[in-house]
Structure 1
Amino acid sequence: MDERLFGMEADFFKALAHPTRVKILKHLIDGEKCVCEFTEVLDIEQSNMSQHLSILRKQNILGSRKEGLKVIYSVNYPQVFEILDLVEEILVCQVNETLNLLSKKVKSRLSEITRDEI
C-alpha cells in the first residue's frame, strides 16, 4: 500500500484521538449544531473549542457554514459515527475480557484460601 495512504489514515485517527474531539462528534450525532452550543454543553472554553474544531475541519471530518454571526458545524461523513460505535464495541469486549480474567483469578484465590483453611 502507498505510504501516503498510511499517513492519511494515521492523520485521520490522530484527529479523533482526543476526548474533546470525540465529545464534539458525539454531540453532532443528531445533526448540525452552532459552535455556541458546544461551549455550553461540553463546558469547554471558546479558544480550546476552536482548536479542536480546526483539527476536525482540517481532516475534513467536519464542515461549517455561517448563519448570520453563528458558525454551524456538521459531520461530513456519517461513517465516523460507525467508527466510534466500533471503537465502543471493542472497548466493551476488552472490559469483558478483563472482567473474565479477574473473575477467574478471584475464584482461584478463593479456592486457595478455602483449601488452606481445611
Structure 2
Amino acid sequence: MPTPLYELKAEFFKTLGHPARIRVLELLSQREYAVSEMLPEVGIEASRLSQQLAVLRRANLVAVSRREGSTVYYTLTSPQVADLLAVARRILTGLLTDQLGLLEDLRAATPRAAPGPATG
C-alpha cells in the first residue's frame, strides 16, 4: 500500500523543521554556496552543518553542484524550494502583522492610570 500523501507532506515538513536547514535553504535560494561560505552565515560548527546538509541531500532538496579541489559547492535541486520559503515568509509576515494590530488594539484599550492628587 503506498504511503498517503499527507504522511509524505508531514515528513517533508519535518525535514524543514530545523533552523539551520531553513537558513541553508535561504542561502542557497540566492546562489550556490561552498560549505566554508555557509558556516558563518548559519552559525553552527562544521560537523553540524555537514549533518544538516546530509539531511537536506537525503530529502533531495540540495545537491552538490560542483567540486573545486576540497571545496564542495551546494545548490538547490529545484527553484520551487525558494518559492516555498518566499510563501512561508509572506504567511509569517501576515500573521505577525495581524498580531501587531491586535497588540496595538490592546494597548489602546488599556485604561490609563489616573493622575495623582495635585499638590500645591
Question: The TM-score by the shorter chain falls in which range?
Answer: 0.7 to 0.9
Gaps of at least 5 residues in structure 2 are 116-120
Taking every aligned residue pair, what percent have the same amino acid on both sides? 33
1:66 to partner: Cα distance: 3.0
Aligned residue identity for 1:91: L
- Report the aligned-residue RMSD: 2.0
Superposition TM-score, scaled by structure 1 size: 0.83
Measured in 2, the distance between the counterparts of 1:107 and 1:72 equals: 52
1:74 to partner: Cα distance: 0.5
Indicate conservation of the 8 Å contact 1:23/1:42, yes or no.
Answer: yes
Q: What residue in structure 2 maps to residue 99 of structure 1?
A: 100
* Ranges of 4+ aligned residues in structure 1 off by more than 6 Å: none
After superposition, give the CA deviation of every residue in 1:16-40 in whole Å (9 maximum; x if it has no partner): 1111111111111222111111123
1:10 to partner: Cα distance: 1.4
Measured in 2, the distance between the counterparts of 1:36 and 1:15 equals: 22
Secondary structure, aligned partner of 2:60: coil
After superposition, give the CA deviation of every residue in 1:47-102 in whole Å (9 maximum; x if it has no partner): 10011001100100001143322211110011111111111111111111111112
Measured in 1, the distance between the counterparts of 2:43 and 2:106 equals: 41
Q: What residue in structure 1 maps to residue 61 of structure 2?
A: 61
Gaps of at least 5 residues in structure 1 are none
Q: Cα distance 1:41–1:100, how it changes in 2: closer, same or farther (>3 A)?
A: closer
Aligned residue identity for 2:48: N
